[in-house]
């Protein structure tokens, strides 16, 4: 599409989580460091929350990559499951042959045996759950019971919950206070500020092969920051559409006008009030 026009080797603002494009902004880097330290200390529950589009899934994949050599990981991307299905999914992720189990009791027994075997191999086991706010309440309680599996000296299963702010509200219920009390570390991802938005755009462009001057003009950068609220997913959408608008006109730099066209084509982005009145 516009890649050759701007000297790019690939599209820089795709929405699919690609760890190569991760920018170690302070909030996201701090969250990753907290996760790694807490897991190496064998803490039980860890919670990471953030608004839609702040990069939780990307951070989740980075964590799984970091843990690849030091832990056995299980990943549940869609946890809207019944307790029985959750047990089966976790067991399957850990290599248990669930088809050989006649019922949930046998699955839990086989899962416990697998966790003990991994502990004997000195391999920590980390369960990572994305979109945790979608978990039914009874499944969250089942997850808490699952973490009761332990020996006299070590915890057999650690859990990392990634979720939207609704997860915090869900965990405030009195019925879930026992799990809430087990969350030893938590972190809230922050949006990017104007300096980080500029760094973010330059970083992604460089990763896509761009090596020219500033592609986004200062007014364009300010407008993207304000209209996106610093949410990386929205920044990606607006940057992509701005590039399309510039390419369509044969322009080599992104101006405020290109960004305005992108905002008008994006339901989740809004023009600043002053600019709306001016237009």
Position 278 scores a pLDDT of 44
Position 273 scores a pLDDT of 56
Distance (Å, whole) CA 36 – CA 175: 29
Position 208 scores a pLDDT of 95
Position 271 scores a pLDDT of 76
Least confident of 23-27, 32-36, 171-175, 181-185: 23-27
Task: Please state the rounded mean pLDDT for residues 147-162.
Answer: 82
Position 272 scores a pLDDT of 67
pTM value is 0.90
Q: Three-state secondary structure along the chain?
A: CCCHHHCCCCCCCCCCCCHHHCCCCHHHHHHHHHHHHHHHCCCCEEEEECCCCCCHHHHHHHHHHHHCCCCEEEEECCCCCCHHHHHHHHHHHCCCCHHHCCCHHHHHHHHHHHHHHHHHCCCCEEEEECCHHHCCHHHHHHHHHHCCCECCCCECCEEEEEECCHHHHHHCCHHHHHHHHHEEEEEECCCCCHHHHHHHHHHHHHHCCCCCCCCECHHHHHHHHHHHCCCHHHHHHHHHHHHHHHHHHCCCCECHHHHHHHHHCCCCCCCCHHHHHHC
pLDDT tens profile 79-113: 999 999 999 999 999 999 999 999 999 999 999 99
Task: Please state the rounded mean pLDDT for residues 140-146.
Answer: 91
Position 151 scores a pLDDT of 64
Residue 65's φ and ψ, nearest 5 degrees, are -65, -40
Position 270 scores a pLDDT of 77
Task: Please state the rounded mean pLDDT for residues 144-149.
Answer: 84
Q: Mean pLDDT over all residues of the chain?
A: 91
Structure tokens at 242: 């701005």
Task: Please state the rounded mean pLDDT for residues 25-46.
Answer: 90
Least confident of 38-52, 195-209, 263-277: 263-277
CATH number for the region 26-188 comes to: 3.40.50.300
Q: Which CATH number fits domain 192-278: 1.20.1250.20, 1.10.8.60, 3.40.190.10, 3.10.20.90?
A: 1.10.8.60
Position 152 scores a pLDDT of 58
pLDDT tens profile 252-279: 999 999 999 999 999 888 776 544 444 4
Does the pLDDT value for residue 227 go beyond 70?
yes
- The share of the chain scoring above pLDDT 70, in percent, equals 96
The full set of domain ranges for the chain reads 26-188, 192-278
CB burial readout 60-74, b (16+ within 10 A) else e: bbbbbebbeeebbbb
């Amino acid at each position: 599409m516009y890649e050759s026009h701007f000297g790019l080797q690939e599209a820089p603002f795709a929405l699919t989580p690609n760890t190569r494009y991760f920018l170690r902004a302070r909030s996201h880097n701090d969250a990753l460091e907290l996760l790694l330290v807490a897991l190496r200390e064998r803490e039980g529950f860890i919670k990471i929350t953030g608004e839609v589009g702040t990069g939780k899934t990307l951070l989740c994949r980075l964590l799984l990559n970091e843990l690849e050599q030091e832990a056995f990981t299980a990943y549940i991307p869609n946890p809207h499951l019944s307790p029985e299905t959750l047990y089966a999914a976790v067991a399957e992720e850990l290599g248990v042959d669930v088809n050989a189990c006649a019922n949930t009791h046998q699955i839990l027994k086989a899962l416990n045996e697998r966790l003990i075997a991994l502990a004997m191999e000195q391999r920590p086991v980390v369960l990572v759950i994305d979109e945790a706010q979608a978990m039914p309440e009874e499944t969250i309680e089942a997850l808490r019971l699952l973490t009761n599996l332990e020996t006299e000296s070590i915890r057999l299963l650690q859990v990392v919950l990634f979720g939207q702010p609704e997860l915090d509200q869900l965990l405030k219920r009195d019925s879930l206070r026992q799990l809430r009390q087990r969350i030893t570390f938590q972190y809230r991802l922050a949006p990017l500020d104007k300096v980080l938005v500029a760094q973010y755009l330059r970083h992604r462009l460089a990763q896509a092969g761009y090596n020219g001057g500033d592609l986004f003009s200062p007014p364009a950068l300010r407008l993207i920051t304000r209209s996106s609220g610093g949410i990386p997913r929205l920044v990606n959408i607006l940057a992509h559409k701005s590039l399309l608008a510039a390419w369509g006109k044969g322009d080599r730099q992104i101006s405020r006008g290109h960004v305005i066209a992108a905002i008008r084509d994006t339901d989740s982005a809004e023009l600043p009030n002053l600019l709306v009145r001016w237009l």
